[in-house]
A and B are shown apart, each in its own frame.
Chain A
Amino acid sequence: DVQLVQSGGGSVRPGGSLKLSCAASGFSFEYIWMTWVRQAPGEGLEWIGRIRSKTDGGTSDYAAPVEGRFTISRDDSKSTLYLHLNGLTTEDTAVYFCASDDDGAYWGQGTLVTVSS
C-alpha cells in the first residue's frame, strides 16, 4: 500500500524556522514529482510548491507567498521529501500536507505548524 507519513511541525515564533518530513513507501518514490499543500485553520487548500524527480531535473517551483522563504528537497535514498520553512510569519500557520504530484493521488496525514509570539 502507498503511504506518506509526515513528521515535524510544531510551534515556532515569527521569524523562526522548521523542517517538515514526508516518508514515502509503497511506490517508486525516486521517479515521482512531489508537492506540498497547506490549509490554514478553517480555510481551503493552497498549493505551495513541488519538486521534480531527479530524472526530470530535480528542480522546484514555489507559490508566490513562500518563494524565497521555503525550500523543498528530497532524499531518494530515504524515500523522503522535505519542506524547509524559514522566515515564518503568522500567515504561515496551517496544516501542511505532502502529496504525490500526479494530480494528488496520495496524501500524507498532515502536520500542524503554528507561528505565534
Chain B
Amino acid sequence: DVVMTQSPLSLPVTLGQPASISCRSSESLLHTDGNTYLSWFQQRPGQSPRRLIHKVSKRDSGVPDRFIGSGSDTDFTLKISRVEADDVGVYYCMQGTRWPPWTFGQGTKVEIK
C-alpha cells in the first residue's frame, strides 16, 4: 500500500505569516491517465473534512486563493500565504492514484501562536 507522510505534524503559526505543509508519498502518484490525484483537506474541530485542493493544485470552489497546492510525483506542498484565525484545524493530504483507493497522511495540526 502507498504510504503518505506529512511534516510537520504540528505547526504553530503567527497570524498573517505564511505556513507550509509537506506531503510525501512512497510511490509516484502520477496516474496512467496523466493526472496526479493528490488532494488536501482541512478539518476544523468537530467538523467533517473539507476539500481545499485536488489534482495537486486545483483549488475547490469557495477556497481562498491564499491556499496554494504544488508538487509532483512523490513530493507535494500545501502553502497558506497569510494565515488567518479561521485556518486553525488539521490538514490532511490524500492520494487517489494507488491502492488502496484513498490513503491519507497523518495530519498536520495548525494552530495560532
User: How far, in whole Å, are A93 and B106 apart by their CA atoms in the complex?
Assistant: 18
User: How far, in whole Å, are A12 and B93 apart by their CA atoms in the complex?
Assistant: 32
Secondary structure class of chain B's binding surface, majority of residues: loop
Instruction: Please give, as numbers and ranges, the residues of chain A lying within 8 Å of B49 by CB-CB distance.
Output: 45, 97, 99, 104, 107
Question: Is A23 in the interface zone, CB < 8 Å from B?
Answer: no
Question: Is B104 in the interface zone, CB < 8 Å from A?
Answer: yes
Instruction: Please give, as numbers and ranges, the residues of chain B lying within 8 Å of A74 by CB-CB distance.
Output: none
Nearest to B50 among chain A residues (CB) is A107
Interface residues on B, range: 20 to 34
Question: Is B17 in the interface zone, CB < 8 Å from A?
Answer: no
Nearest to B43 among chain A residues (CB) is A45
Instruction: Establish whether residues B100 and A105, one from each chain, have CB atoms under 8 Å apart when the complex forms.
Output: no
Instruction: Establish whether residues B50 and A47, one from each chain, have CB atoms under 8 Å apart when the complex forms.
Output: no
Question: Is B71 in the interface zone, CB < 8 Å from A?
Answer: no
Total count of chain A residues near the partner, CB < 8 A = 19
Question: Is A103 in the interface zone, CB < 8 Å from B?
Answer: yes
Cross-interface CB contact of B48 among A35, A105, A107, cutoff 8 Å: A107
Cross-interface CB contact of B104 among A47, A105, A107, A109, cutoff 8 Å: A47
Instruction: Please give, as numbers and ranges, the residues of chain B lying within 8 Å of A46 by CB-CB distance.
Output: 104
CB distance from B77 to the nearest CB of A (A): 18
Cross-interface CB contact of A104 among B51, B100, B103, cutoff 8 Å: B51
Instruction: Establish whether residues B48 and A104, one from each chain, have CB atoms under 8 Å apart when the complex forms.
Output: no
Q: Knowing A45-B92, A103-B94 are in contact, say whether A37-B50 is a contact too (CB < 8 A).
A: no
Q: Name A residues whose Cβ lies closer than 8 Å to a Cβ of B.
A: 35, 37, 44-47, 50, 61, 63, 97, 99, 101, 103-105, 107-110
